């Protein structure tokens, strides 16, 4: 019996086949969409996505430059920059973390941070809360190293440390007035730091770095701009001389309970300022305890009536006029003279004395008679030639030009008082320059606060033979019988002039004084000019010869030995120099 063969059974449900093709179509469409999207991302939208990636990982970072170093003439550092940490906060991140840790502002770490910032916990919390929408706020600049180390260990989210530069002044108050200081952003605001700020400041650079998701740098990609450090400056001052002058002045101001004082030391051959000190002074490293009145460089910014230290200029005018010689006789009897209804007096009746003795004895009557015998042009010539009434163009902030305002048809008494140092105002630096011109045998050299290379071009403003004669006159002032004998320096011949000037007050002159001494050394070949000014010394000793002359002697001795200048007086005897009187 034959059986029928079985037919294959079609298991595909005709009602479900369309679902298969639908799913297949969807899958193919999905893959096609992904392919299109991938193509779009890889080709058409590539730049946008790259920029988005870079915005999250690539940063432009500033490369900090360093401010130039300031040194003295021998390379000793007076101002330099040191790295310090500054504290800043990202309030946005801080409050984001606070949502995770509600007690963040109640932790010990937060209390320690407040203590370092010298704030209470509540004050610090309130301060941050007021700025919670910001992403960068300075908390404290230029931290102490110990504080920055503690903050680093606290690991408070949103609290960060940034490396900055802080200016450091190794010689502190000794050179404060000439070097000056910078603000917290390293901008010069006083002294040399301000005068040469553009030169000292560097230019920051830029670089590209990669950061991780926490913002930590992981790789430097490229340097866009190289940082340029500021130029270094070499000052004219010698810190050895500066320190010696500072100590001597400080001791004198303290000894005589004076209000203030200044000392200026000039190199006659170059016009360089070898030292410039003032009292009171301040420590530029201590921002909190700075007193504004102590920050002035009085030697450059303040003026005073120079008193008898001007009398050598009257002598120069007399000799330059051709009407007088150093041995010409002046009658000062009876020790006073009436000029325009006022009396000009000497301490005693000196009788008939030479022009040279007028300077030695510091006779007001003598210089008055000389001044009144000269025309205005003849008399004022020496004052203009040494630069009174004009600043010294040092570029120092606040430099004064003094006052030498001569009116037309000025009175005889005004002319008389100017001859012995009243009716004009000068700074200590201006007076020092005048004496450096005399000591330089009439050559005027520009004043410089920066080290210069000799020789320096000079302008001959006074005849050398006249300057030499006046140097000889002033040497007698420092003799054992002169008013400036306390300015003597063993082994050296000193030439100088004392001055004791009353301080002007409303309606006339009061009972306060400026004690002054100005001079040059060594006489045989003057190399150094020094001016000492003590403002309002107290007690019985207030004369320039008693108060300022000893300071001059101390400073001059140190200068001469520091510069290794050979003595010009041996065994108590002085070298003789041929008189140039009459020579042209």
Q: What is the CATH number of the domain that holds 467?
A: 3.40.710.10
Same domain? For 195 and 325 the reply is: no
Do both 179 and 327 map to the same domain? Answer: no
Which comes out higher in pLDDT, residue 34 or 258?
A: 258
Most confident of 64-68, 229-233, 290-294, 332-336: 332-336
Predicted confidence (pLDDT) at residue 501 exceeds the cutoff of 90: yes
Q: Alpha-carbon distance 423 to 404, whole Å?
A: 8
Number of residues written out for the chain? 584
Angstrom distance (rounded) from CA 551 to CA 25: 106
What is the pLDDT at residue 321? 95
Q: Which of 133, 150, 165 is the last residue of a domain?
A: 165
Report pLDDT digits (tens) over 299-333: 999 999 999 999 999 999 999 999 999 999 999 99
pLDDT value of residue 437: 98
The tens digit of pLDDT for each residue in 71-104 reads 999 999 999 988 888 888 888 888 888 778 788 8
Range of the domain at 561: 245-280+295-306+316-331+388-397+423-574
CB neighbour burial string for 409-422, b if at least 16 within 10 angstroms, e if fewer: eeeebebbbbbbbb
Q: How far is CA 323 from CA 263, 329, 379, 496, in A?
A: 35, 11, 11, 24
Q: Which of the residues 262, 308, 356, 427 is marked catalytic?
A: 308
Least confident of 182-191, 368-377, 425-434: 182-191
Same domain, 493 and 451: yes
Does residue 378 fall inside a structural domain?
Answer: no
Task: Summarize the confidence of residues 229-247 as an average pLDDT.
Answer: 95
Percent of the chain with pLDDT over 70: 86
Q: Assess whether 527 and 567 both reside in one domain.
A: yes
CATH of the domain at 221: 3.90.1310.10
pLDDT band at residue 570 under the 50/70/90 scheme: low
What distance in Å separates the CA atoms of residue 540 and residue 264, rounded to the nearest whole number?
A: 26
In this prediction, residue 360 carries a pLDDT of 94
308 labelled catalytic? yes
Is the pLDDT higher at 539 or at 460? Answer: 460
Question: Would 479 be classed as within a structural domain?
Answer: yes
Verify that 228 and 106 share a domain, yes or no. no
pLDDT, residue 215, reads: 55
By three-state DSSP, how is residue 204 classified? Answer: coil
Q: What is the mean pLDDT of the chain?
A: 87
pLDDT-derived band at 4 (thresholds 50, 70, 90) equals low
CA distances from 196 to 44, 456, 526, 543 (A): 54, 22, 31, 39
| Average pLDDT value for residue range 261-282 | 97
Residue 63 domain-assigned? yes
In a domain, 215, yes or no: yes
Q: Is residue 320 part of a domain?
A: yes
User: Is the pLDDT assigned to residue 205 strictly greater than 50?
Assistant: yes
Q: Which pLDDT score, from 0 to 100, does residue 582 have?
A: 36
Q: How many domains does the chain have?
A: 3
């Amino acid at each position: 019996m034959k059986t029928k063969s079985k037919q294959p059974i079609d298991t595909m449900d005709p009602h479900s086949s369309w679902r298969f093709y639908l799913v297949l179509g969807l899958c193919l469409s999905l893959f096609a969409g992904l392919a299109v999207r991938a193509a779009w991302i890889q080709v058409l939208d590539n730049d946008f996505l790259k920029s988005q990636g870079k915005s999250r990982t690539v940063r432009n970072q500033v490369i900090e430059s360093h401010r130039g170093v300031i040194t003295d003439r021998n390379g000793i550092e007076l101002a330099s920059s040191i790295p310090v940490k500054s504290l800043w906060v990202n309030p946005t991140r801080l409050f984001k973390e606070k949502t995770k840790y509600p007690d963040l502002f109640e932790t010990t770490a937060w209390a320690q941070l407040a203590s370092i910032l010298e704030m209470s916990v509540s004050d610090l919390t309130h301060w941050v809360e007021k700025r919670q929408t910001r992403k960068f706020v300075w908390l404290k600049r230029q931290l102490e190293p110990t504080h920055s180390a503690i903050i680093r260990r606290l690991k408070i989210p949103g609290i960060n440390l940034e490396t900055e530069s802080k200016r450091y002044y190794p010689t502190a108050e000794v050179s404060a007035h000439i070097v000056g200081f910078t603000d917290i952003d390293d901008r010069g605001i006083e002294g040399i730091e301000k005068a040469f700020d553009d030169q000292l400041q560097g230019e920051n650079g830029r670089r590209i770095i990669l950061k991780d998701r926490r913002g930590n740098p992981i790789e430097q990609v490229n340097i866009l701009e190289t940082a340029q450090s500021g130029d270094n400056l070499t000052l004219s001052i010698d810190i050895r001389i500066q320190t010696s002058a500072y100590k001597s002045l400080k001791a004198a101001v303290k000894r005589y309970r004076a209000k203030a004082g200044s000392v200026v030391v000039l190199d006659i051959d170059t016009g360089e300022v070898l030292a410039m000190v003032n009292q009171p002074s301040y420590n530029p490293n201590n921002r909190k305890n700075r007193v504004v009145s102590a920050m002035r460089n009085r030697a450059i910014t303040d003026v005073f009536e120079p008193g008898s230290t001007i009398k050598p200029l009257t002598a120069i005018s007399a000799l330059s006029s051709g009407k007088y010689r150093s041995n010409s006789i002046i009658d000062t009897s009876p020790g006073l003279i009436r000029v325009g209804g006022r009396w000009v007096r000497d301490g005693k009746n000196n009788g008939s004395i030479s022009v040279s003795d007028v300077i030695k004895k510091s006779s007001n009557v003598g210089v008055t008679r000389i001044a009144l015998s000269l025309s205005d042009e003849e008399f004022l010539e020496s004052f203009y030639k040494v630069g009174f009434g004009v600043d010294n163009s040092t570029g120092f902030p606040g430099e004064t030009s003094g006052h030498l305002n001569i009116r037309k048809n000025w009175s005889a008494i005004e002319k008389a008082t100017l001859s012995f140092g009243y009716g004009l105002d000068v700074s200590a630096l201006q007076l020092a320059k005048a004496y450096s011109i005399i000591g330089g045998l009439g050559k005027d050299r520009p004043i410089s606060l920066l080290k210069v290379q000799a020789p320096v071009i000079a302008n001959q403003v006074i005849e050398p033979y006249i300057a030499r004669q006046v140097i000889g006159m002033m040497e007698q002032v420092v003799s054992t019988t002169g008013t400036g004998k306390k300015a003597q320096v063993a082994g050296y011949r000193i030439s100088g002039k004392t001055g004791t000037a009353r301080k002007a007050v409303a309606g006339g002159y009061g009972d306060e004084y400026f004690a002054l001494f100005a001079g040059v050394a060594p006489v045989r070949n003057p190399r150094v000019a020094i001016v000492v000014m003590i403002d309002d010394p107290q007690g019985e000793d207030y004369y320039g010869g008693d108060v300022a002359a000893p300071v001059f002697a101390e400073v001059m001795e140190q200068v001469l030995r520091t510069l290794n200048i050979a003595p010009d007086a041996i065994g108590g005897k002085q070298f003789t120099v041929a008189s140039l009187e009459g020579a042209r």
